C-alpha cells in the first residue's frame, strides 16, 4: 500500500516543480514550452563541466572544441570562444581556471541563465602569480549538454578581463607583452612601451623590466575590466593595477583607456606610458607612501627627459596659482579622485614636489627617498635623512617653485 502512494507523491512533486520553475512567477512573459524538463533547469553541474572543457581547450589551443561549447545556433558566442583560444595561445596564458560559483537569479525567459564564475589566469613569463576575479557568464541547457551562451558583462561586482572581452591582437617579447583589442593600434602601443622601459630603468635601476600593457576596445571595456562604475576613468588615459583584487601578489599591469589615450599627442602618449611603467616598476599599488609621492614620482620619471615646456607640463597648476596663490599644504589623497575637478592641476603640483626634491638632492636621492617611503619609512624621517629637510622646508621650496611657473604670476 505504501509503495504506490509514495510514488504518486513524488511524481506530483516533479511535475509541480517543472511547471513552476520556468515561469518563475505569474508575471513572467509567456515563452514557448521547452520539450523536456532537463532543458529548462539551471544546471550548475553541466555548466561546470562545460567550463572545464573550455579550460582544456584553452590549454590545448583547441579552437574547434572551444567553439563547440556554444549552442549550434549561437554564432556570436562561438566566435567569442574562438577568440579566447586565439588570445590564450598568442599571449601564452597559463594557469587558467574557471570555477562555477552560483547562478544570478535563475532562468531568463530565453532559457539562458547568468552565473558568476571565478576565473584565474596568468601570462606565462610575466606574471608570478595568477590573477583571479569573478566574471559573469551565461549558460543554456541543450540536449547535448550545457552550452556557453555569453561571456562577460554584469554589474560592478564582477569584471570582464581584457583577454575575455573580444578579439585581441598580441605582441610578445622577452620583457614586453601587449594585449590590445582588435581596432586599436597594437604597433603604436608596442613602440610606446618599448620607449618607456629605458626611460623608467634609468631612474628605477633595480627594475628588471617585465611590462604587460592591456588595451581594451574602449573606456567602457576598461571599466568592465577593472570593475568600476561607468565614467570612473572617463578622464584617465591609462591606469596601473591588477585585473582582479589587488594584493596576494596579484600581477600589476598597465590598462589603457583608448578613448582618452587616442586624443593625446605623441609626447603625451609617451609620458602616460612611462608614468604607468614607473608605477609597475615600483609596484606602486602596494606603496605605503602618500599619493602625491606615487604620482609625482611617476611624472618625474616620465617627464625627466622631455622637451615639453613648463607652459605645457604645468599650465593647469600655474593657472590655479595665479587665481588662488600656491597651496599651503602638500596635495591630499582626496584631490587625486579620478573624477575630481582639478585632476590635471594636482598631478602637476605633485610632479613639482618631486622636481623640488630632485633639485635639492638629485635624481638618485629622489629614487632612494621614494623607495624608502614606499616601504614604510615615515615621510619626515626619510626627508631628513635623504635631503636634510623638514616637511616645512619641502613645502616652502615647492611653493617657491610654483610661484616661479610661467603664467603663475597675476
Ligand atoms: Zn599614476
pLDDT tens sequence for the chain (410 residues): 333 333 333 333 333 333 333 334 445 555 555 554 445 689 999 999 999 999 999 999 999 999 999 999 999 999 999 999 999 999 999 999 999 999 998 999 999 999 999 999 999 999 999 999 999 999 999 999 999 999 999 999 999 999 999 999 999 999 999 999 999 999 999 999 999 999 999 999 999 999 999 999 999 999 999 999 999 999 899 999 999 887 778 899 999 999 999 999 999 999 999 999 999 999 999 999 999 999 999 999 999 988 889 999 999 999 999 999 999 999 999 999 888 888 999 999 999 999 999 999 999 999 999 999 999 999 999 999 999 999 999 999 999 999 999 999 87
* Degrees, nearest 5: CA angle 203-204-208: 135
Ligand 1 centroid to Cα of residue 287, in Å, is 12
Ligand 1 centroid to Cα of residue 346, in Å, is 12
What does DSSP assign to residue 42? -
Instruction: Give the per-residue pLDDT at 322.
Output: 97
User: Grid coordinates representing 242?
Assistant: 591588477
Ligand 1 centroid to Cα of residue 156, in Å, is 22
Q: Is 107 helix (H, G, I), strand (E, B) or coil?
A: strand
Ligand 1 centroid to Cα of residue 2, in Å, is 73
Q: Is 29 exposed, middle or buried (0-12, 13-18, 19+ CB in 10 A)?
A: exposed
Ligand 1 centroid to Cα of residue 295, in Å, is 5
Ligand 1 centroid to Cα of residue 268, in Å, is 14
Helix axes 391-403, 315-324, angle to 10 degrees: 100
Instruction: Give the per-residue pLDDT at 305.
Output: 86
pTM: 0.87
Ligand 1 centroid to Cα of residue 253, in Å, is 12
Ligand 1 centroid to Cα of residue 272, in Å, is 8
Ligand 1 centroid to Cα of residue 6, in Å, is 68
Instruction: Give the per-residue pLDDT at 17.
Output: 36
Instruction: Give the per-residue pLDDT at 27.
Output: 55
- Span 287-410: which CATH code? 1.10.390
Ligand 1 centroid to Cα of residue 234, in Å, is 15
Which residue in this structure is represented by grid cell 552560483? 102
Which residue in this structure is represented by grid cell 597648476? 317
Domain ranges for the chain: 38-158, 167-283, 287-410
| Distance linking the first and last C-alpha atoms of the chain | 101
Instruction: Give the per-residue pLDDT at 235.
Output: 87
Instruction: Give the per-residue pLDDT at 31.
Output: 59
Instruction: Give the per-residue pLDDT at 1.
Output: 32
CATH of 167-283, one of 3.30.2010, 3.50.50, 1.10.10, 3.40.630: 3.30.2010
Burial code of 70-96, b = ≥16 C-beta within 10 A, e = fewer?
A: bbeebeebbebbbbbbbbbbbbebbeb
Ligand 1 centroid to Cα of residue 145, in Å, is 47
Ligand 1 centroid to Cα of residue 239, in Å, is 7
Ligand 1 centroid to Cα of residue 136, in Å, is 29
Ligand 1 centroid to Cα of residue 55, in Å, is 34
Which CATH class for the 38-158 domain?
alpha beta
Amino acid at each position: 500500500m505504501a509503495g504506490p502512494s509514495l510514488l504518486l507523491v513524488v511524481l506530483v512533486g516533479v511535475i509541480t516543480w517543472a511547471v513552476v520553475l520556468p515561469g518563475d512567477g505569474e508575471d513572467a512573459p509567456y515563452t514557448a514550452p521547452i520539450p523536456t524538463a532537463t532543458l529548462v533547469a539551471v544546471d550548475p553541474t553541466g555548466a561546470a563541466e562545460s567550463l572545464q572543457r573550455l579550460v582544456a581547450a584553452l590549454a590545448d589551443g583547441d579552437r574547434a572544441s572551444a567553439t563547440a561549447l556554444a549552442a549550434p545556433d549561437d554564432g556570436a558566442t562561438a566566435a567569442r570562444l574562438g577568440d579566447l583560444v586565439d588570445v590564450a595561445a598568442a599571449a601564452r596564458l597559463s594557469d587558467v581556471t574557471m570555477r562555477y560559483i552560483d547562478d544570478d537569479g535563475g532562468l531568463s525567459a530565453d532559457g539562458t541563465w547568468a552565473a558568476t564564475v571565478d576565473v584565474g589566469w596568468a601570462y606565462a613569463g610575466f606574471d608570478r602569480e595568477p590573477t583571479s576575479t569573478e566574471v559573469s557568464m551565461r549558460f543554456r541547457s541543450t540536449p547535448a549538454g550545457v552550452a556557453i551562451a555569453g561571456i562577460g558583462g554584469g554589474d560592478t561586482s564582477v569584471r570582464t578581463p581584457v583577454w575575455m572581452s573580444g578579439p585581441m591582437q598580441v605582441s610578445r617579447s622577452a620583457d614586453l607583452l601587449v594585449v590590445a583589442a582588435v581596432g586599436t593600434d597594437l604597433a603604436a602601443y608596442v613602440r610606446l612601451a618599448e620607449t618607456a622601459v629605458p626611460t623608467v630603468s634609468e631612474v628605477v635601476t633595480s627594475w628588471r623590466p617585465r611590462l604587460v600593457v592591456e588595451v581594451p576596445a574602449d573606456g567602457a571595456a576598461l571599466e568592465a575590466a577593472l570593475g568600476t562604475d561607468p565614467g570612473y576613468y572617463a578622464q584617465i588615459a591609462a591606469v596601473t593595477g591588477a585585473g582582479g583584487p589587488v594584493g596576494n601578489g596579484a600581477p600589476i599591469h598597465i590598462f589603457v583607456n583608448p578613448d582618452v589615450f587616442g586624443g593625446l599627442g605623441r609626447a603625451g602618449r609617451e609620458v602616460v606610458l612611462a608614468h604607468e611603467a614607473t608605477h609597475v616598476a615600483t609596484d606602486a599599488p602596494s606603496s605605503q607612501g602618500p599619493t602625491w609621492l606615487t604620482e609625482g614620482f611617476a611624472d618625474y620619471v616620465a617627464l625627466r627627459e622631455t622637451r615639453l615646456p613648463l607652459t605645457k607640463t604645468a599650465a593647469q597648476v600655474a593657472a590655479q596659482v595665479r587665481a588662488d596663490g600656491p597651496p599651503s599644504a602638500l596635495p591630499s589623497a582626496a584631490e587625486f579622485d579620478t573624477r575630481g575637478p582639478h585632476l590635471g592641476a594636482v598631478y602637476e603640483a605633485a610632479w613639482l614636489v618631486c622636481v623640488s626634491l630632485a633639485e635639492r638632492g638629485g635624481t638618485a636621492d629622489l629614487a632612494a627617498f621614494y623607495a624608502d617611503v614606499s616601504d614604510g619609512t615615515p615621510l619626515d624621517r626619510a626627508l631628513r635623512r635623504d635631503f636634510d629637510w623638514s616637511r616645512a622646508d619641502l613645502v616652502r621650496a615647492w611653493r617657491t617653485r610654483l610661484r616661479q611657473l610661467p603664467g603663475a604670476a597675476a
